[in-house]
Every structure is written in C-alpha cells, then in structure tokens.
Structure 1
C-alpha cells in the first residue's frame, strides 16, 4: 500500500480538524496531479463515511445520479433513489449520516468540488444552506471540499461573499514536494537514484507526485525524460495543453503570462507582464497573477529595499519551463532525445534557470546550510537594469539578515566542480560593487556560492567566496 510521504504541516492541520470540538469545513486546493485526493483519503481513511466527486462537464442529472450512487455506496444500503435537486440531495445526506456522527468524528469528502456546480443547478446555494443550517452545528463532523480549479476555489469558496463567507475553518494550499520529499517518495517506490539524477528529474518534472510516479526502477533520469516527455504516449508530452485549461476558466491569458516569464530568466514586474501580454492594469490582472501564484506556477518576490508594488514575478513551475523550452517544438522523439538536447546551448540556459528556481524554493534549506537558521532574514532576488550605458547587475538570491549582514548568492549548475576564473572573478566583484552602490547598504556582504558539486579552491575562490553550498544541502529537511 502506498505511503503518505511528507505533507507534515498539512497532516497537523487535518489532525487539528479531527481533534476539534466543533464542526470543521476544510478547503483544499492545488494544481492538477498534486495528490490532494490521496492526502485526504489516506489521512482520513478510517473516518470518511461519504465521498462524492464532481465530473468535469457532466450534466446536472448526471451529477445527481452519481450523488445517489455515492450515497448508496457509503451507506452500504439498498439503492438510494436519485435526488431531483441538490436541496433534496443534502436532505438525504443529513438523514443518512446523522446517526453516524452521534459518538465519534466523521468526515464527508467532496472531491473536484468546482465541477459539481453546473450552470443554474443551485448546487452552491444548497451546499451553503446545508453547511449553515445543519452541518456547522454537528460537533463530530468534518466536511472536506477539494478542487483543482484554483481560481474557482479561491473566488467561490475562500473569498466567498455569500453564504460561505468566512465559513472555511481550515485552508490547505497543496504544493509540490520539495527535494527531500521527492527523494523519500521515490525511495518508497524502490527507486534508487543519486542526488544529481534526482535533481535532473526535479528540474523537468518538479515535485508533482503523479509525474514522479512515472519513474521506473532501474531507469536513469535521461531514460525517464525520454519516455515521459519525448514519446507521444508519454504522460508529459501533452500535459501542458491539458493542465492550464483544467485549472483556469480563461486559461489562454494564464498561458501567455507563463510564456512571457519563461522568456525572462530575471523575472518581470507586474507592469512588465501587462506590457508583454497586452493586459489591462485593472483587477483582472491582479486576479490572474494571484491564481497563478496560488497554484504554484509563479512566485512573486519583493526585491531588496523595495515594496510589494515592486514585486518581481518568476516562473517557478519546473514542468512548464521544461515544456516551453524543449517539448513543444521538438521534432525528434524517443530514446536518446534528451541526451542529445542536453548537449545544446539551450540546455545550458535552461539548466541554470531551473536550478536557480529550485534554490529559491529551497531557501530555508540554504539558510540552514549557511548557518543562519535562527537569524531573521528576508529572502529575495535583486536586479538593476540600467537605462544608460552603465553596467547592470543581477543577484540570483540574497538573504538580508537582521544581524546586519547580507549573503549575496551566486547560483551555478554544472556537471562537475565549478571553477572561478579571472574573468568570472571580475564579474562577481562588479556585481558586489554595483549592489552596494545602488542600494547604499552599509551591511556586511558575504558572497555565497551555490553549486551542484562545489568549486575549486583556487586563489579567485579564496579571495571572494565566504560560504559555499552544494546540492546536498537542498535535499535536507
């Protein structure tokens, strides 16, 4: 039986819902294939007494028929008559589960919640009435509503202005596994790969459990990517086309933003995104960016010494970047495709960007490796784009520390030990000088190098680098 790997914070929250002396309404959302259903089924496997899942693009009559079947299955009774509307459906549910929650906590699980709401079906109104007039008064009841359509869950449930306003008691935004969880998940499936192979997989697939489930025992990362990405039958070959349209109602705009960010390794500000994608500056763009961010596709960072209005958005979904860079326009397919691509110049630019994104996601692990886990820090990238002829600069990642120091991190993905030559040493010195000049900071600056296999300890390294982190640190808890 498959284990429940990671999800420690989520498990604590779900346990609090079970331990509560009040009714709990738990909303969980996250991108497709992230493991939402598995988490709920596995954690509440002894408490779920009713489970119902919406069907995409199904009619009202089909949804109601499926509800009746789900109720029959849950109650282990004679076939339940199909309800004629949602108000009747919830009345039937109340009568069936009422006796079962007299003495112990039980769970009702509504999966793919957004898909249940068909046009003019009255589902949301009936659910709101069910929760407010009955379910919320049952101290032994936990109602879990789950959905992949992040925009719908955020608008209609989390930010509901009607009958569910402020009714959600627990909220879970489920994100992909980090590297440590990815390694543990694959190990639980008897997959034994070294950290570099795991990193390669993560750079293309991210920590999406269902993608990682495609990895077979005895395969290298290159073999996995050839089979899953560059064969027409591979899961990830056409996943991009399905992914965004299954999550967002007007996915074409979300895809445009993702493509714009894929083309800019340094990220874009809100105004730059508006210009690049021909969007308006109103609330629609704010909502679009929030939906992409809440789903984990993009991440906003507040640059050093700036405000939230100056946020830089970066594409942080590994698969989306990999698809745009390599899969969608590839002409060759099958065995050896990825090994050939990994020798191209586009691979070098992609690998650097993908590794940088992974480091940003694993800032807490890097902070711990630096030795500042207990020091308050603010984490961000930084860039200075000169409009004149003077030199610009970009800092991949920095840790602004409360102890009056700043770690300026330079991130390099290499196949072997990294070498700081004379020219690159000059680049690092210039970056540090521009940062100090433009920010006017008086804090102590520590140049910190983050690489896959470390760096050669030559004179350039000794004279410049105060701290070095390798990929091993990213795999720590």
Structure 2
C-alpha cells in the first residue's frame, strides 16, 4: 500500500470504521481525479477483498460482464459466468463473501457507483435488497460505494427515500488538497518549490492529486504551467470538457453557469445566473446549482446580514477559472507561454480573484493566523450599492463575524513583492469601514486585516488602519 498524504480526518474515520465491529455502508463522493479510489485502496490496514468499478456509458450487459470478471479475479482466477441480472449478480457475490466474513473483517468496494446504475438495469433496487436483506446483518462487512457524480450520490444514496433511506452509516465528501497538503504531497514526490511558486501552481490547478502528480522535480511554476496547460499533450490542455461531461449527463447547462461565473469574480445571484444562462426559474436551476456546488466547482456565500435567498454563487474551482481565462482559445503555446501573460491586465485580475478564492477555502488557517481558532465565527461577503449619487458604495470580499463582538474585515492582495498601500487605497479602506458601519449599524469592533503574499510594506505610514497582517505563510499551516 502507498502512503496517503494529508487526509487526516478521513484516515481517522477509516480507522474507526475498520475497528467498529459493525456492518458499515460507507458513501464516498467528490469530483473527478480528487483521489477517492486512492484513499480507499490505501487508507485501510487491510486489503480489499472484492473491487468492482462501473464503466461510463456502458450497457447493462457490459456492466454485468465486467462484474463477472471482478468476481473471477476475487475468486482467484476460476472463470465465473456472467450473471443474467443484478439480483443474480448479488447472489453470486454473497457466495464469494460468506466464507471470508466468517473468518475476518472484509472490505468490499464499488467504485464509480453512479455509472453502474444504467437505465432500466434494476441495479439500485437489487443493491438495496442486497444490503437490507443480507449485508447489513454481516458484522464483519465494510461495504464502500464511491462516485464522482456527487449530486447523484447525495440524491440517490444519502438522501434516498426508498430502500436505502438512512442506511448509509458513514459518509465522506473528499475535497481537493489544501495548499498545505499540496506542499506536503509534492515534497514526498521530491518536488522542491518555495511557497510563492506553490501558490501559483495551486491558483492554476487547485489541489487535485491527479493534476499534481504530473509535476516533475526541477521545474519552475512557469515551466509546469507551460507543459501541463499550453502543450497539446498536456493533461490540462483539454481537461475542461472531459471534466464536466464525465460528471453530468447533460453538462452544457453546467458549463454555461461556470462560464457566466468566470466573468464575474465577485459572484452572481441565482436570478442573475438564470437570466445570464437563459434558465427556467424553477427547480431545474436549483438542481444545476446544487450539482455544481456538491461537486466542488462553485461555492455559495451569504452576504452579511442577509438570508439564503440573497446568496451569491462564485466559481471556486481553480482549474476551470484558469482554463476559461487563459487556455481556451489561446493561440500561444509551448515554452514561455505563461510568462507572456503575467505582465497583462488579464493576469492581474485573474491572480487577484484566484488568491481571494484560495483564502476563502482556507478560513481555518486564516483564523489560526489571526489567533481566533477557538472563537465561533461566521464567514460572509458584503457589498453596498448606493441608490443615490451622494452615497458611497463598498464591497468586502471576506468578512469574519466573531462571537466575541469583533469583525475582521479582510483585504486580500496577491503581489510578487511586499504590498504597498497608496494614499488612494488607504482612503478607500477608511471609506469601506465607515460605509460598512453606517449601513449595517453594527456595534462590533472592526479589525481591518490584510492578507497578502509577502506582507504590507508601509502599514506604519497609516497608523491604526491595518489591525492585523497575514502573509501566505498562514495558508500552509
């Protein structure tokens, strides 16, 4: 078995499952290439006794033939005939597992579970019957079902209203690596890069293990991005369409939403997305947004003082944002391509939005850096659009509302050098704090917090303005 990087909570849970002494039905879901299969195969101390993976867009006959081959492999090579139906298939699985379960704890793994449930195949009812009538009574059985189509897993398994209702004993939503886990993973692969270089890589491809696995020692961030994103054989050159179409049967509407959000770094409301993508205002739009959220591509933020009805949606998948901004339609390819983009305004706007998105995903690390790890907080965004010309507007992209009567107003700035506050920006910051206090009527103490790559160069020039300074180092903790 190989070493599992990071995943501290997940490994603790798998260890608990292995030692529970009860029948366990474990549902694991997360986006494509995030490392679900790797975690299952390497996160237990015991080896898997039976493993079966669904085939994308395969027929019922092909899925059953694949199942018979998995049975043959688990049985030690003795050829096993293809079952006529899923009911028969599970009867055959029982025969394989019975003698194993009588001896020891046994792990059974169904990978790409949603792909197995082909139309009119009868798979899900047969699986429900298998679990309820037999498997749930086997105290030595650990049954793991895993899928990249997170929305399908939640709707058909976790929130199932039929035979699987409340049957899942444990669930794991596997997210991409944090930037700290990314750093650890690359170190284990003998890749040595400083934090600024690692941050640039993370901003382009996120913490997806399968993407990071392509990084070779001795390359700079610019060389890595050139090779993976701007050469025709690079993994990320045409990953975008494969990514969405492998997760969603009718992916075009999902892609339309992602494209719309890519143009609006500050986020869009549900109604704005419906208008921009020509969607119906009913349940279908809600379903699309839910599927993209559960799969980890977009995130929902409730503005300060508002309710879920006023939620803003943001594109927070690093690769999707990078692809739509730079890779798609780019005429430039080959060595040196990425460095050609960096002096431009597109790079500046992208890097700012990408850095903000990464900070929003690392709130626990930021709270620790501020010194409020144990304080209850609520994270939100806020903006005020003036209705009259005499009023001033303001926008806050990260606001940490604390239970100790304080609020951290966070400004996030990505820069190659220590960030310098100019007079105009200092005035803007003062105005932002004033407008927020006036419009929200909050009586809490406001702490302006600067989150930058290398710190603030001249904060002493504006005494009392910046109450807390954090650098990118806190994100790696």
Measured against the shorter chain, the TM-score band is over 0.9
Deviation at 1:164, TM superposition (A): 1.1
The 1-side partners of 2:129 and 2:376 are apart by 45
Correspondences of 1:125-140 after superposition (within 5 Å): 125-140=125-140
TM-score normalised by length of structure 2: 0.97
Deviations 1:103-137 (A, max 9, x none): 32111100111111222211111111111110011
The 1-side partners of 2:83 and 2:363 are apart by 51
Deviations 1:225-272 (A, max 9, x none): 000001111100100011111111221111111111111111112222
- C-alpha contact (below 8 Å) 2:459/2:466 kept by paired residues: no
The 1-side partners of 2:432 and 2:164 are apart by 51
With over 3 angstroms needed to count, the CA separation of the structure-2 counterparts of 1:381 and 1:218, relative to structure 1, is same
Deviates more, 1:323-332 or 1:385-394: 385-394
Which residue matches 1:182?
182
SS of the residue 1:414 aligns to:
coil
Which residue matches 2:423?
422
Unaligned runs of 5+ in 1: none
- C-alpha contact (below 8 Å) 2:367/2:373 kept by paired residues: yes
- C-alpha contact (below 8 Å) 2:18/2:44 kept by paired residues: no
Deviation at 1:461, TM superposition (A): 3.8
Which residue matches 1:465?
466
Which residue matches 1:141?
141
Correspondences of 1:324-343 after superposition (within 5 Å): 324-343=324-343
Deviations 1:34-79 (A, max 9, x none): 0000000011362410000111112222211111111111121411
- The answer as to 2:379 corresponding to 1:379 is yes
Correspondences of 1:255-294 after superposition (within 5 Å): 255-294=255-294
Which residue matches 1:62?
62
Which residue matches 2:302?
302
Deviation at 1:157, TM superposition (A): 1.2
The 1-side partners of 2:450 and 2:50 are apart by 52
- C-alpha contact (below 8 Å) 1:50/1:108 kept by paired residues: yes
- C-alpha contact (below 8 Å) 2:260/2:273 kept by paired residues: yes
Deviates more, 1:173-182 or 1:374-383: 374-383
SS of the residue 1:264 aligns to:
coil
SS of the residue 2:375 aligns to:
coil
Deviates more, 1:90-99 or 1:145-154: 145-154
SS of the residue 1:51 aligns to:
strand
Which residue matches 1:365?
365
The 1-side partners of 2:60 and 2:284 are apart by 30
Backbone CA RMSD of aligned residues: 1.3
TM-score normalised by length of structure 1: 0.97
The 2-side partners of 1:274 and 1:383 are apart by 21
The 2-side partners of 1:458 and 1:139 are apart by 62
Which residue matches 1:320?
320
SS of the residue 2:464 aligns to:
helix
Which residue matches 2:253?
253
The 1-side partners of 2:184 and 2:307 are apart by 38
Deviations 1:126-177 (A, max 9, x none): 1111111100110110110111122221221122222112111111111100
The 2-side partners of 1:127 and 1:458 are apart by 62
Which residue matches 1:35?
35
- C-alpha contact (below 8 Å) 1:270/1:312 kept by paired residues: yes
SS of the residue 1:463 aligns to:
coil
- C-alpha contact (below 8 Å) 1:44/1:107 kept by paired residues: no
- C-alpha contact (below 8 Å) 2:15/2:44 kept by paired residues: no
Which residue matches 1:16?
16
The 2-side partners of 1:12 and 1:288 are apart by 33
Unaligned runs of 5+ in 2: none
The 1-side partners of 2:384 and 2:41 are apart by 48
The 1-side partners of 2:246 and 2:425 are apart by 45
Aligned pairs, number: 476
